[in-house]
Structure 1
Amino acid sequence: MASLPASAQPKPGEPKQASVERLLNVLSTDLTNPTLTPAQRTATLEHLKVHGRDPNGSGAIFTREGIDTLGKYAFDQPNSDISTSREALRCLANALLLNPDCRQIFVDLGYALKAAERFETASIDDEFLLSRILFLATFTPPVPPGLLDTTLPASLAAALDRHTTAPHMQMQEMALTETLKLLFSLGHHTASPHLLITLPPLLTLLTTITLPSPPLQGTIIHLINAPLSLPLTATTPALFPPGAEFKLVDRLIAILDAATRDPDLDDAAAPLVTLLRKLLELAPEAVVAHMQKVLLPAPEERDAPLGTSKTLPSRLLRLTAAATAPGLRDHVASLLFELSGSSPETYVENVGYGYASGLLVSRGLDGGMGSGAGVGKEKGVAREVNPVTGQWVEMEPVKADPFEGMTMEEKEREAEKMFVLFERLRKTGVVDVKNPVQQAVEEGRFEELED
């Protein structure tokens, strides 16, 4: 750090609170009677920033006067050294993070609109700071009046566009993350169509950025969240552009494919599935058919019970029955239901009643198990399927007769055991059914053996 001016030098044994007040007083005085050099202003703000990282003893920073002083150095000094302005932005970012009351003060003083104006010419370093400050200022509604009537939406689009070609170094990644968080906050609280200008560069980033492993971490999460906050419609041109209608959904499906290979996948994947559901709702018929082909079980998977292979559709089916991550489980089940045209019967045909029953019961729907015929056709001939497992009936293993090889006496003893067990169960009141052994005897399906 550069040397502090003499008036800002701390005294030996001085409490932190007194030192903070001294630094702010020096800065405030310099605004009306400039005597500090640019280096001294920057050094004073640096010391204040260090103190402001801990709210204890930093109360003077969080007052209206403190925020106003920092705001003036950040936005109102046209001849100020850029390093001085940036240090003031860092102090503000810390204050708004540590003390939520400062956010409304910042807005009331008009600095949110000035931050939006400053964004228009922001460097990567400034983008990081301004995005964080504006995110904190808009974290709790209402969004400052007039904020989206400024150049901010266009500035956000320009910043995202810059990230499509900028090398993804640490500072760029940090700035991009903060900008995406700001975009999500603005969209979530306003659903303003002004923000749709950010969609083309946003989707370019989403479809071209290198995926980490596992994929759902860092910037990717924010790239997925941001479109969810925008007022998308079926006519939004960037979603399904001519000649590249499948590009966005294919990228999201690739991310989903990679993510579902993680056995510990949790609810953090829910926004990805939610975005796919949103696109399915808006997509043209060709894209819908493409998503159905890729995400629903193919006929060849019915050679075994559905959900037992290593394909993406099988992994999705297993997620719908997973005991963990209930949020993700419900979203995946809803996606498969909507891919089935939101028809309970079609849903059962596509995934089998075993996987479909959970969602149908939770929604009070009756999909039934149907006849089990006609789910797939080969050479014009309908093939029968097991309605519970979804497997071709002809491919099911032949079950051995459990009574094969028994003598009649042994069969009778097994029937007696079954009779006793059902009688005990019936007496508990848990079930109210007729004993199947007794029913079989009454119907003449058992023969009495001769002594």
Structure 2
Amino acid sequence: MNNSKTVSISRGEASSLIKLLIGNTSASQKLSNDELLAILTSLKVEARETKKVTRTFTKESLDVLVDYGSISNALEIRLEALRIIANALLLSPDLREQLDVVPIMAQQYKKGASTDEELVVGRIMFLSTMQPRTYEADVLKGLHEYILLHITRHSEGDLCGSSLPALTETCKLLFNVLCKFSDDSPSYEDVIRPLSTIIKRLPRTLNSVSRAVISCLLKLPCMLNVCFTDGATMEQLEMLFEVLDNAIRTQSLDTPGFDDSIVPLLLLLSNIFTSAHNEDVTEYFKTMIFPSEKERCRPLGASSSLASHLLQITTKPTFMKSREVIFQLMWDASDRDVRKFIYHIGFGYAIGYIVNHKIAVPDDVLRENMDKYPSDNINVVTGQRLDTEDQFSPLANMTDEEKEREAERLLVLFERIRANGVINVENPIRTAVESGRFQVLPD
């Protein structure tokens, strides 16, 4: 390397580095791979901060880097160039809008790419497809070939630590394509079985990889017909519920972003249920999402089962998205019958969904003896068996004054519900007080 080039690199002058790359394309004596690698490595530092990206890179300079990212160059050269492009696009929405490399990348890498190349190329195309664009049929066909090739390779290969980030980027790209180009793209039905194979082979945890795969399955409208045939449905369901159970048990419900992370899985399960025409499948769903009869020795939601955790989520104000999906699934699994719905989860949990969706409640729904259901010994509000209320009463550790305040709070709550026209029934708290189950304390 001559002295001028060495000086430019050591100073980290981004404009000088780019000029060296541009000049090399037309120079009679080309820079060696070692010299190019040194220039690109120095330039990559400039692509790690938003301010430097804005100051350093333009569409023209990225076009030059796209040339160096071509498969005609040595692997280490093109990888460095592609990493610079990926970082710049990540940090600059303006560059994402100006530069579209999908036609080039899809065409060059549709026949294959190393894991490192798949990671960075997938990320570049994912960032490029975030912008609203229109592609010709041959570009969409190349994208399809690229995605199918790599999804299939992962389904047949080792799902190890080094390959998972690349798989995640390819799935994110697929998700973008399904969201924005599905009407014009070739059918992606052929990626469903490889994706299904991948999700079964992944650890039963909800991480970035499994979330990406689940999101793709959720966006494939024909997925239920291909993936969840009668012969494979139960195995798939057990796996998905295990992922959900592990996610809820290993994460605090106060973890930021947890609501968004479990919504795709909940939606996928909900879609499976509504599309199922198999009694075994629907019954399995009910055993997983509704508390068992054994759990009724305490108020519903107090045990450690998955069903109880789902009920707890519905009470969290930070789980606005998840609780709506959970309630909808429980409502559908109750045959959209308000009596069954209240029996399955208790009026205390059900009332929010009932009010929000303006569901009519029969006048006698809060009576302790509801026809057709084994609830003659059930507290309709809490779902707990009446004969265990004294043993596991949540009031056991309260003072008399605290009990009185709690009774007053519930009394006011039910009066408000009646005033809103949701139900027209005698207030059960007032009835309990009048029957002697609550005692009014003297002044």
Same topology, TM > 0.5? yes
1:41 is aligned to 2:39: no
1:260: how far off? Answer: 2.5
3-state secondary structure, aligned to 1:67: helix
How far apart in 1 are the matches of 2:54 and 2:317?
48
User: Contact 1:385–1:392 (CA<8 Å) still a contact in 2?
Assistant: yes
- 1:5-404 residue pairs with structure 2 within 5 A? 6=3, 8-11=5-8, 16-30=13-27, 33=28, 35-56=30-51, 62-75=57-70, 78=72, 80-107=73-100, 111-120=101-110, 121-142=112-133, 144-146=135-137, 149-192=140-183, 194-211=187-204, 215-232=205-222, 234=224, 236-238=225-227, 240-262=228-250, 264-265=252-253, 266-267=258-259, 268-286=261-279, 287-368=281-362, 369=365, 371=367, 372-374=369-371, 376=373, 383=376, 385-393=378-386, 396-397=389-390
Q: State the partner residue of 2:423.
A: none
Q: State the shift of 1:37 in Å.
A: 2.9
TM-score of the pair, normalised by structure 2: 0.76
1:263 and 1:373, CA in 2 relative to 1: closer, same or farther beyond 3 A?
farther
- Corresponding residue pairs, total: 388
Aligned counterpart, 1:445: none
Tell me the distance in 2 between the aligned counterparts of 1:335 and 1:322: 17
SS class of match (2:382): coil
Deviation per residue, 1:300-340 (Å, 9 max, x gap): 33344322322222222222223443333333222212222
Task: Report the CA distance between 1:6 and its aligned residue.
Answer: 5.0
Judging changes above 3 Å, is the alpha-carbon distance between structure 1 residues 202 and 143 closer, same or farther for their aligned structure 2 residues?
A: farther
Q: Report how far residue 5 of structure 1 moved.
A: 5.2
Aligned partners of 2:190, 2:269: CA distance in 1, in Å? 21
Secondary structure at the aligned position of 2:153 is classed as helix
Structure 1 residue identity aligned to 2:34: A
Whether the 8 Å CA contact 1:333–1:359 is kept in 2: the answer is yes
Larger Rg over CA atoms: 1
Write out per-residue CA displacement over residues 144-178 of structure 1, whole angstroms, 9 at most, x where no aligned residue. Answer: 44476323223323312322344444431221121
Aligned-pair Cα RMSD in Å: 3.4
Q: Which amino acid in structure 2 is aligned with residue 9 of structure 1?
A: T
What secondary structure is seen at the aligned counterpart in 1 of 2:119?
helix
2:14–2:43 contact (8 Å) kept in structure 1 = no
Give the conservation status (yes or no) of the 8 Å contact 1:10–1:19. no
Q: How far apart in 2 are the matches of 1:360 and 1:39?
A: 68
Partner of residue 404, structure 2: none
Task: Determine helix, strand or coil for the equivalent of 2:188.
Answer: helix
For 1:408-444, what per-residue CA distance to the aligned partner results, in whole angstroms no more than 9, with x for missing partners? xxxxxxxxxxxxx9xxx9xxxxx999xx9xxx9xxxx
Give how far 1:48 is off. Answer: 2.3
